[in-house]
Amino acid sequence: MKLHEYTITQLHELISKKEVSVPELTRHMLDRISRLDSKLGCYITVTEEQAMERAEKVQKMIDEGALNSPLAGIPMAIKDNICTKGIPTTCASKMLGNFVPPYDAHVVKKLYDNGAVVLGKLNMDEFAMGSSTESSYFKKTKNPWNTERVPGGSSGGSAAAVAAGEAIYALGSDTGGSIRQPASFCGCVGLKPTYGLVSRFGLVAYASSFDQIGPLAKTVADCALILNAIAGHDPMDLTSSRRQHPDYTKALINDIKGMKIGIPREFIADNVQKDVRDAVLNAAKVFSSLGAECEEISIPIMEYVVPTYYIIALAEASSNLARYDGVKFGYRTANPKDMLDFCMRSRSEGFGTEVKRRILLGTYVLSSGHYDAYYKKALKARALITREFNKVFEKYDVIIGPVAPTTAYRIGEKINDPVQMYMEDIFTVPVNVAGLPAISIPCGFDSSSLPIGLQIIANRFDEPTLIRAAYTFEQNTDFHKAKPSIMDE
């Protein structure tokens, strides 16, 4: 096995036993990126020099006994909407093409404290607005399983890099499925934590009441290790939870006897590709055979979830993106006539089409005369949706279903149909609307050999149950062991 194929857990052991050094491992990853990334387009920025310097320093600290975190010396990469001091953070937008943050995001600081080696910044949909990474200003990322397919999005670079062995793990962000859906399309594990568990300080805001940072990795155990490092209270994020979080590796228990699992019939309806539905139903059988009690349930409010999500997300986006006026940072137009022209042209030249569409929609639903009918109505619907999920979790430990209605589609296939694209977020957005944690893990392949993800959803702050269910499924199936052929290149 080559170095990039190992998990965090395995590499930690190799590093501890001095069978591999951190600079050696980092060099291997950087060489791989320079060899393969022109084919896949996962990275916007590769921080080669800084990574090698950092690798030497981390190795020294490990040798001195000053660092013993399981993440110490593991080369990883970060979605390009998470601020990294001194390293460009573009949000895959022309608007932030020249932005170099003067500070690190809370999660980045935490990872540095744990000895992480940052390889670079990963491609995404512009401002995380999209589900295919096609709206990036810089490049289109290809799916490592089939380079004619999208990697999903918006954290498409993160998922593709992990799946192709261009990073051992990655950070992504999930506003309406942006960690789980690309993890599903690329066959890796992606975890969206409970809203408030991980600080959003330094995450470029899209929809602040939904945004959450989380890990993408090869295994559930790796995700638990990363979550241990990034979770916890941060006074710089008003919505950061103060509760003590447990050690998530304690939840890596291969046993789900007696666990109660709900499968909403709305998640396995006719709008789901047959291969995907079969894989999810098969997963339910696996859980039952391991002693869980699986029951079909119904969440009738599901049909209102997508409009609720989009109205709130776009309203928040239009407000959050008002800060890009060309003054303090970001793209600035040349030779403006006056202040209004300066602001209008900076915004119009700096933002791409999907971002403009979402700002306009958000402005519309917040505008006088439409506010009550759309925005306020959606907030009320959000309360009802949250109540319905609370009710489900009174009886069930977790909910399972697909992550997306389809597997990875062709590049260009859906980009011109925004309504269709929005509707395909149906299974991921309820999690954000209700602030729940959820995970995507490999559960099968479609007829074109593309990976299928299983989504497991748990109650707020019940990541331990979520991780336990996912870990048990993983330990009793082989789907996560299959790798795209590019892994051998």
Task: Point out the residues that are catalytic.
Answer: 79, 154, 178
Among 54, 139, 192, 382, binds another protein (CB under 8 A): 382
21 binds another protein (CB under 8 A): no
| DSSP 8-class letter at 344 | H
Cβ proximity of 293 and 261 under 8 Å? yes
Q: Are strands 169-173 and 75-79 parallel, antiparallel or unpaired?
A: parallel
Cis peptide before 178 (omega within 30 of 0): no
257 binds another protein (CB under 8 A): no
136 binds another protein (CB under 8 A): no
Size of the site for another protein (CB under 8 A): 70
Report the site for another protein in 423-442 (rule: CB under 8 A): 423, 435
Cβ distance to another protein smaller for residue 285 or 387: 387
262 binds another protein (CB under 8 A): no
Among 64, 328, 447, 488, binds another protein (CB under 8 A): 328
- Other CB atoms within a 10 A radius of the CB of residue 301 amount to 17
Q: Would you state the structure tokens that stand for residue 89, as one six-digit string?
A: 């953070």
Q: Would you state the structure tokens that stand for residue 228, as one six-digit string?
A: 């241990």
Beta-sheet strands, E only, within 19-145: 43-46, 75-79, 117-122
Q: How far apart are the first and last CA of the chain?
A: 12
Cβ distance to another protein smaller for residue 267 or 342: 342
353 binds another protein (CB under 8 A): yes
298 binds another protein (CB under 8 A): no
Among 298, 348, 448, 476, binds another protein (CB under 8 A): 348
Among 28, 57, 109, 377, binds another protein (CB under 8 A): 377
CA distance 411 to 171: 23
341 binds another protein (CB under 8 A): yes
445 binds another protein (CB under 8 A): no
Classified as helix, coil or strand, 460 is coil
239 binds another protein (CB under 8 A): yes
Q: Are strands 117-122 and 75-79 parallel, antiparallel or unpaired?
A: parallel
Q: Mention every residue, 6+ apart, whose C-beta is less than 8 A from residue 200.
A: 106, 208, 211, 212, 213, 237, 239, 240
269 binds another protein (CB under 8 A): no
106 binds another protein (CB under 8 A): no
CA distance 45 to 393: 42
List interacting residues with another protein (CB under 8 A).
98, 100, 102-103, 196, 209, 235, 238-243, 301, 303-304, 306-308, 310-311, 318, 322, 325-329, 332, 336-345, 347-348, 351, 353, 356-357, 359-361, 363-365, 367, 373-374, 376-384, 386, 418-419, 422-423, 435, 460
